[in-house]
Amino acid sequence: MSPAETPSDDPITARALALAGLVQALAQVRRVADTGQAEESVLATAMDSVFRIDAESAAAVYGGVQALRPGLRLLRDYFGGGNARDEQLPKLALSVMQLERRFSGEPQVVARVQAGIRGCAAAAERDGSSHPDVLAAMGALYSDTLSSLRPRILVQGNPHYLAQPAVVAEVRAVLLAAVRSATLWRQMGGTMLDFFLRRKQMAAAIEALL
């Protein structure tokens, strides 16, 4: 299914895409924390989503379904009971969803984040959303706003890399992208019931998208 064919009014499909964006971003958080390096195309997808505030569909937030294939494959493993699992990812995803709910109830923090994103939009457009300066600005924005809310997101990784300011900024910037996906998931009607009562529907939507 191409992005143009993705039904923007299909809530299950939209939620599956938002969840794919969430786990894809968090997989990069884990990768950066462990190795100090991100996969450039996946990093760009995550960071581009931060600046696509008024996209016409869930797929458009990420530049199309194709850009979410890594996240969709991760979701297929989780919903389908696959063996290749990172046990930290579900814990991180749950924490981000809880943080997003708290964030959405803090209008002043929301306004500060929106202003920070708007203030960096021109640089992201000019230099690319994954440019080091943009990542540093988005990491600082996360630190100044979301990191003050609870629950705090704890990222495990290689202490050598997590002692480097540029790596920490990148981790925080991608966490901001993960929160953006959690916001989209909630806006599309996502709840924890999706993981229980709608598990088969979600799995079917993921398979269709893949």
Spell out the domains of the chain, with CATH numbers in brackets.
Answer: 10-209 (1.10.3890.10)
Identify the CA nearest to 52 among candidates 106, 126, 129. Answer: 129
pLDDT in tens, 55-76: 999 999 999 999 999 999 999 9
- Three-state DSSP class for residue 152: coil
Mean pLDDT for all residues in the chain? 92
- Three-state DSSP class for residue 195: helix
Composition of the chain by helix, strand, coil, percent to 5:
75, 0, 25
pLDDT in tens, 130-140: 999 999 999 99
ω into 151 cis (within 30 of 0)? yes
CB burial of 24-62 (b: ≥16 within 10 Å; e: otherwise) equals bbbbbbbbbbeebebeeebbbbbbbbbbeeeeebbbbbb
pLDDT in tens, 96-126: 999 999 999 999 999 999 999 999 999 999 9
C-beta neighbour count of 9 within 10 angstroms: 7
Whether the Cβ atoms of residue 28 and residue 171 lie closer than 8 Å to each other = no
Annotate 7-42 with DSSP letters as a single string. Answer: -TT-HHHHHHHHHHHHHHHHHHHHHHHHHS---HHH
Q: What's phi and psi for 16, nearest 5 deg?
A: -60, -40
